[in-house]
Chains A and B, each alone.
Chain A
Amino acid sequence: MTSPALLLMFGATGVPLARGMPRRALVLLLPVAGLLMLWLSPEGDSAGFALFGLELIPVRIDALSRLFATGFLIAALLTSIYALHMRDPLQQAIVLIYAGTAVGGTLAGDLVTLFVFWELAGLSSAFLIWAGRTERGYRAGMRYLIAQLISGLLMLAGIALRVQAGEGLEFGYLGLDGPGDALILLAVGIKCAFPLLHAWLIDTYPEATIVGAVALSAFTTKLAIYVLARGFPGTDLLIWVGVAMTVFPIFYAVIENDLRRVLAYSMINQLGFMVAGVGIGGALGINGASAHAVADMVFKSLLFMAMGAVLLRTGTVKGSELGGLYKSMPQTAALCMVGAASISAFPLFSGFATKSLIMEAVAQEHLTVVWLLLLFASAGVFHHAGIKIPYFAFFAHDRGHRVAEAPLNMRVAMAMAALICVGIGTAPNLMYELLPHAMHYAPYTTPHVINQLQLLLLASMAFTMLVRTGLYPPEIRSVNLDADVVYRRMLPRTWGALSRTVPRLRRELGPPIHHLAANLWSATTRPLRPDAKPASPWPTHSMVWWAVIMLGTVLLLTLL
């Protein structure tokens, strides 16, 4: 059994060699061929082979891995269509290689294969940030790569500890039992943007190229969700980690000016729902996390595509400089609103069918506080991703941008993504049948639809009233402090301060300390000099006396 991942990765190396129509055909055919290969392969493990006495299984196809791999391949196809207009073969090839690594990681049956693809995903995607070929992009790419490599090293260390503990390389349920598992969870936590480990995501995704951001939004984080869903289902800790991930980014998203960074924050929010679903575990929790991950690959891509089209045409994605674009880019605006409705879980759109699985799982466990916080985050994501993104980009104040509509291939990609969003939303059972566990769940019940509409309509009413009364915080050119301040500001500053202070201290304190040390040295070594007292010859009788006293003491002590 050969892997669709290798097909994509080796096929992608041919992309820079071809030009014109053959190249376009190649970048479109590879994901389609990957999909065919994936669905024609039977479920089960490929033939394994031994490496240093450990059994490797490069390809394992079951319901969970097939679902994620399908999502990745569809996202790869959409991104390839979106990138068709470019004359830059590097990005087109990298998108396919990167997609291949995500598919390969998903199909991995053992931890070493997973690790290899995990690292390759980080390495290949860094080029999507570097491809902007700017100084700023270069530095952002380095920061991104460092975060990915740290994650990879932690995973390798975790795998080594597991092997040493005799737990083998099989990539199944890992659980949180030993130090090796904890390291693997930490590695996944970095790629999954756990709170405080999330800084790389909001720092570097908005610095990627137009196509790069679309690709980045689909693969790395969702691969991490897959590893969680397979390795750590039902880990209670993850429920609260997930809740924190859904709640804190929405505050940042409201005041963030860079609309692609707003999307990065809303991505952490969506990942939080999935992490919480994995934490709940069980059929409903895992189904919900997987379904929402696949839906998210599409609607988050769609939103990044729309913002990319805006960036391409106007040269900016700052809320403070945009507005009124619906006049110039009506189709992009409409498609963006489909993505916004999907991420907000409006009935008839994909988020409604998938996120409600997670909410239902939480409700069935009767976790009141968790449920209330997730509901708050649902209203919050509607606020920043559902309303803010389309409103400030396409409506609000007309900033006078009169630009062309997005290129045809971009609109086709966005339309296809929008169709998938509406398709999952209107016919959820098609999606539910692909899920790893059997379940009975009907999203379209009267209470659920009405409750969701109440939540969202009143949330939009709140937005309207706040905007009309002028209470809504305006879009201002600014950056907001987040955890990335630690490595972008504090660590460099601390290093700078140290490298200034240490030489100065050496100049000022050096001579007195040197003097003191010399005095101390001569005082302590004085008794050891040849002319000192202990070194001079002792009379024999005093030696005998000392020996008698010592032996006498020993004798006394033993007799007592």
Chain B
Amino acid sequence: MSDDRRRLDEPRNVTRIVYGLAVLCALALVADFFYAKHPHFSVEDWPGFYAIYGFVGSVTLVLAAKRLRRLLRRDEDYYEPPERNTDD
């Protein structure tokens, strides 16, 4: 099993990646103050608009999809009995 353990199996390393991502996000936010904007829309002038929009949009998307699943979810063999697609 020793060769089967990889670095990502260690929760500590995954947490490190998450911290790394957080640092990148922070950098991207800070970078917002260091360039001249040429907006087409007034919303683009808001500090960190893209970042906030991306974050809020994604969370909304996932939570809304989760609610939709309650309505839309059916058994896997709803249309026809399961069958393995074998080829090659």
Question: A residues engaging B (CB < 8 A)?
Answer: 85-86, 88, 131-137, 139, 207, 209-211, 250-252, 254-255, 312, 315, 326-327, 363-364, 366, 368, 371-372, 375-376, 379-380, 383, 395, 398, 446-447, 450-464, 466, 468, 471-473, 476-482, 488-489
Question: How far is A479 from B54 in the complex, measured between Cα atoms in Å?
Answer: 28
CB pair B35–A251 under 8 Å, yes or no, is no
CB pair B72–A480 under 8 Å, yes or no, is yes
Residues of A within 8 A of B72 (CB): 252, 255, 480-482
In the complex, which of the residues A251, A457, A459 contacts B24, with contact meaning CB atoms closer than 8 Å? Answer: A457
Interface residues of B in 17-60 (CB under 8 A from A): 18, 21-22, 24-25, 28-29, 31-32, 35-38, 40-41, 43-44, 48, 50-55, 57-59
Asked if A462 meets B62 with Cβ closer than 8 Å, knowing A209-B87, A364-B40, A479-B74, the reply is: yes
In the complex, which of the residues B31, B53, B76, B86 contacts A132, with contact meaning CB atoms closer than 8 Å? Answer: B86
Asked if A251 meets B61 with Cβ closer than 8 Å, knowing A131-B87, A453-B28, the reply is: yes
A146 to chain B, nearest CB (A): 16
Residues of B within 8 A of A454 (CB): 28-29, 31-32, 48, 50-51, 54
Residues of B within 8 A of A86 (CB): 88
Asked if A379 meets B57 with Cβ closer than 8 Å, knowing A134-B86, A135-B83, A481-B74, the reply is: yes
B88 to chain A, nearest CB (A): 6
In the complex, which of the residues B8, B24, B61, B86 contacts A250, with contact meaning CB atoms closer than 8 Å? Answer: B61
B: interface residue count bin: 35 or more
CB pair B25–A457 under 8 Å, yes or no, is yes
Residues of A within 8 A of B83 (CB): 134-136
Asked if A383 meets B62 with Cβ closer than 8 Å, knowing A139-B80, A364-B40, the reply is: yes
**Interface residues of B: mostly helix, strand, loop or mixed?**
helix
Residues of B within 8 A of A464 (CB): 18, 21
Residues of A within 8 A of B41 (CB): 363, 366, 368, 371
Question: How far is A458 from B61 in the complex, measured between Cα atoms in Å?
Answer: 14
CB pair A132–B87 under 8 Å, yes or no, is yes
CB pair A480–B73 under 8 Å, yes or no, is yes
Question: How far is A452 from B8 in the complex, measured between Cα atoms in Å?
Answer: 28
CB pair B62–A88 under 8 Å, yes or no, is no
CB pair A463–B58 under 8 Å, yes or no, is yes
In the complex, which of the residues A136, A372, A452, A481 contacts B85, with contact meaning CB atoms closer than 8 Å? Answer: A136
Question: How far is A458 from B32 in the complex, measured between Cα atoms in Å?
Answer: 13
Question: How far is A427 from B6 in the complex, measured between Cα atoms in Å?
Answer: 36
Residues of A within 8 A of B62 (CB): 254, 383, 462-463, 466, 471-473
Asked if A376 meets B31 with Cβ closer than 8 Å, knowing A136-B83, A395-B8, A479-B74, the reply is: no
B54 to chain A, nearest CB (A): 4
Question: How far is A290 from B8 in the complex, measured between Cα atoms in Å?
Answer: 40
Residues of B within 8 A of A255 (CB): 65-66, 68-69, 72-73
Chain B residue nearest in CB terms to A375: B53
Most buried by A among B18, B44, B51: B51
CB pair A134–B61 under 8 Å, yes or no, is no
CB pair A327–B86 under 8 Å, yes or no, is no
CB pair A455–B54 under 8 Å, yes or no, is yes
Chain B residue nearest in CB terms to A363: B40
Question: How far is A236 from B86 in the complex, measured between Cα atoms in Å?
Answer: 44
CB pair A210–B87 under 8 Å, yes or no, is yes
CB pair A461–B37 under 8 Å, yes or no, is no
A388 to chain B, nearest CB (A): 10
B14 to chain A, nearest CB (A): 9
Q: Which 10 A-B pairs have the closest CB atoms?
A: A462-B58, A363-B40, A254-B65, A455-B54, A454-B51, A454-B50, A458-B55, A458-B54, A480-B72, A459-B54
Question: How far is A205 from B9 in the complex, measured between Cα atoms in Å?
Answer: 34
In the complex, which of the residues B18, B57, B63 contacts A376, with contact meaning CB atoms closer than 8 Å? Answer: B57
CB pair A254–B61 under 8 Å, yes or no, is yes
Question: How far is A447 from B37 in the complex, measured between Cα atoms in Å?
Answer: 6
Asked if A207 meets B85 with Cβ closer than 8 Å, knowing A455-B50, A463-B58, A480-B69, the reply is: yes
A200 to chain B, nearest CB (A): 14
For this complex, 18 residue pairs linking A to B, each with C-beta atoms less than 8 Å apart, are A88-B87, A134-B84, A139-B80, A210-B87, A250-B65, A252-B72, A326-B8, A327-B6, A364-B40, A366-B41, A372-B43, A379-B57, A380-B58, A383-B58, A457-B21, A457-B25, A463-B58, A479-B75
A478 to chain B, nearest CB (A): 5
CB pair A459–B57 under 8 Å, yes or no, is yes
Chain A residue nearest in CB terms to B66: A473
Residues of A within 8 A of B66 (CB): 254-255, 471, 473
Asked if A461 meets B79 with Cβ closer than 8 Å, knowing A371-B41, A472-B62, the reply is: no
A11 to chain B, nearest CB (A): 23
Asked if A133 meets B87 with Cβ closer than 8 Å, knowing A451-B50, A454-B50, A462-B54, the reply is: yes
B63 to chain A, nearest CB (A): 7
In the complex, which of the residues B38, B65, B73 contacts A447, with contact meaning CB atoms closer than 8 Å? Answer: B38
Chain A residue nearest in CB terms to B73: A478
Residues of A within 8 A of B28 (CB): 450, 453-454, 457-458
Question: Counting CB contacts under 8 A, is B10 at the interface?
Answer: no
Residues of B within 8 A of A455 (CB): 50-51, 53-54
B15 to chain A, nearest CB (A): 9
CB pair B86–A462 under 8 Å, yes or no, is no
CB pair A479–B58 under 8 Å, yes or no, is no
CB pair A476–B53 under 8 Å, yes or no, is no
Chain B residue nearest in CB terms to A91: B87
Residues of B within 8 A of A209 (CB): 85, 87-88
Asked if A366 meets B40 with Cβ closer than 8 Å, knowing A457-B21, A458-B28, A462-B55, the reply is: yes
Chain A residue nearest in CB terms to B35: A446
CB pair A458–B40 under 8 Å, yes or no, is no
Residues of B within 8 A of A131 (CB): 87
Residues of B within 8 A of A88 (CB): 87-88
Residues of A within 8 A of B40 (CB): 363-364, 366, 371
